[in-house]
Amino acid sequence: MESCVLPGLSRLLSLNSSSPDATAALAARLGRLLAAGDTLLLHGSVGAGKSHFCRALIQSRLAALGRMEDVPSPSFTLVQTYDLGDLELWHADLYRLGDTQEVVELGLEDAFATAICLVEWAERLGTLAPKDALRLTLAPGRHADERYLTLDGPPQWCARLAPVLSEH
């Protein structure tokens, strides 16, 4: 896939996912590494798999705490929060965001500093996107169940992501 890495960001991972399960497995592996203050910005068109990725990541973190919960789409509420015990996880879908002031009103700016944040339609954040965030892009593959996934971020993520990167 043709793609350009934004200035200051490194291409951390680039892979073909051949099924929803393969994407979910990657989401669970990445999810284990995320801590308070980490933000994952998700990019990709309608049906690319952003919500699928987020749901798998959230459910794997909840399962690690012995919990099974629905992960509803935040497309109307814009954000959905999860209590992970010692920290919160925020799942946002900004497709219906009015303007960037709403990001502040939702409390997302504060959450970027204190919680794990997963943001679908992250381009709507504009300049409010955290500079140190990871960016995941999902693009259509050659068949219905294939997706091209790329992960970009500041170079300091390389060491933290080593357990995920070493499997590819």
Q: Does 46 bind ligand ATP (CB under 6 A)?
A: yes
Residue of the chain from 9, 13, 17, 59 that contacts ligand ATP (CB under 6 A): 17
Q: Which does 102 bind (CB under 5 to 8 A by kind): ligand ATP, Mg ion, none?
A: none
Residue 80 Cβ vs Mg ion, minimum distance, rounded to whole Å = 12
Alpha helices for 16-100 (secondary structure H): 20-33, 50-64
Given a contact cutoff of 8 angstroms between Cβ atoms, the answer to whether 32 and 116 are in contact is: no
DSSP 76: T
Can residue 31 be called a binding residue for ligand ATP (CB under 6 A)? Answer: no
Name the closest residue to Mg ion (Cβ). Answer: 51
Kindly identify the residues of this chain, within the stretch 106-145, that bind Mg ion according to CB under 5 A.
120
Contact set for ligand ATP, span 68-97 (CB under 6 A): none
DSSP 3-state assignment of 10?
A: strand
d(CA 3, CA 57): 25
Residue 135 in contact with ligand ATP, rule: CB under 6 A: no
DSSP secondary structure letters along 106-145: HTHHHHHHHSEEEEETGGGGGGGS-TT-EEEEEEE-SSTT
C-beta of residue 74 within 8 angstroms of C-beta of residue 91: yes
Does residue 23 touch Mg ion according to CB under 5 A?
Answer: no
Q: Which of residues 40-59 bind Mg ion (CB under 5 A)?
A: 50-51
Binding region for Mg ion (CB under 5 A):
50-51, 120
Binding region for ligand ATP (CB under 6 A):
17, 19-20, 22-23, 44, 46-52, 120, 145-147
